[in-house]
Homo-oligomer: A and B are copies of this chain.
Amino acid sequence: MPLDFTVDATDGAARRGRLTTAHGVVDTPAFMPVGTAATVKGMLPSSVKATGAGILLGNTYHLMLRPGAERIEKLGGLHAFMGWDGPILTDSGGYQVMSLTELRKLDESGVRFRSHIDGSYHTLTPESSIDIQHKLDANITMAFDECTPFPVTPEVAAESMRLSMRWAERSRNAFKPRDGYGLFGIVQGGVFDDLRRESAAALKAIGFDGYAVGGLAVGEGQAEMLRVLDVTVPELPEDRPRYLMGVGKPDDLVKAVQRGVDMFDCVLPTRSGRTSQAFTRRGQVNLRNARHADDPRPLDEHCACPACDGFSRAYLQHLVKAGEMLGAMLLTWHNLHYYQELMAGLRAAIEAGGLEDFAGAFAEAQAQGDIPPL
Contacts and interface: CB of A to CB of B under 8 A. Distances in A.
Interface of A: 37-39, 41-46, 66-67, 71, 74-76, 81-83, 293-294, 296, 306, 310-312, 314-315, 317-319, 321-322, 324-326, 328-330
A311 B325 CA distance: 21
B312 A81 contact: yes
Contacts of A39: 319, 324-326
A47 to B, nearest CB: 9
A32 to B, nearest CB: 18
A367 B296 CA distance: 50
A41 B322 CA distance: 11
Given A41-B324, A42-B325, A83 B311 contact: yes
A325 B326 contact: no
Copies of this chain, count: 2
B76 A296 contact: yes
A71 B41 contact: no
A312 B75 contact: yes
A273 to B, nearest CB: 11
B293 A42 contact: no
B81 A293 contact: no
Contacts of A310: 45, 83
Given A81-B314, A314-B71, A315-B82, A41 B326 contact: yes
A142 to B, nearest CB: 22
A246 to B, nearest CB: 21
A39 B66 CA distance: 31
Contacts of A42: 325-326, 329
Given A71-B314, A76-B296, A315-B83, A306 B37 contact: no
The 8 A-B residue pairs with the shortest CB-CB distance, nearest first, are: A42-B325, A67-B318, A39-B326, A83-B310, A37-B322, A39-B324, A75-B314, A75-B296
Contacts of A74: 294
A81 B312 CA distance: 7
A83 B324 CA distance: 15
A329 B44 contact: yes
Contacts of A294: 71, 74-75
A42 B46 CA distance: 16
Contacts of A81: 312, 314-315, 318
Contacts of A328: 325
Given A43-B326, A67-B317, 10 more contacts: A39-B319, A39-B324, A39-B325, A41-B326, A44-B330, A71-B294, A75-B314, A81-B315, A83-B315, A325-B328
A26 to B, nearest CB: 22
A325 B37 CA distance: 11
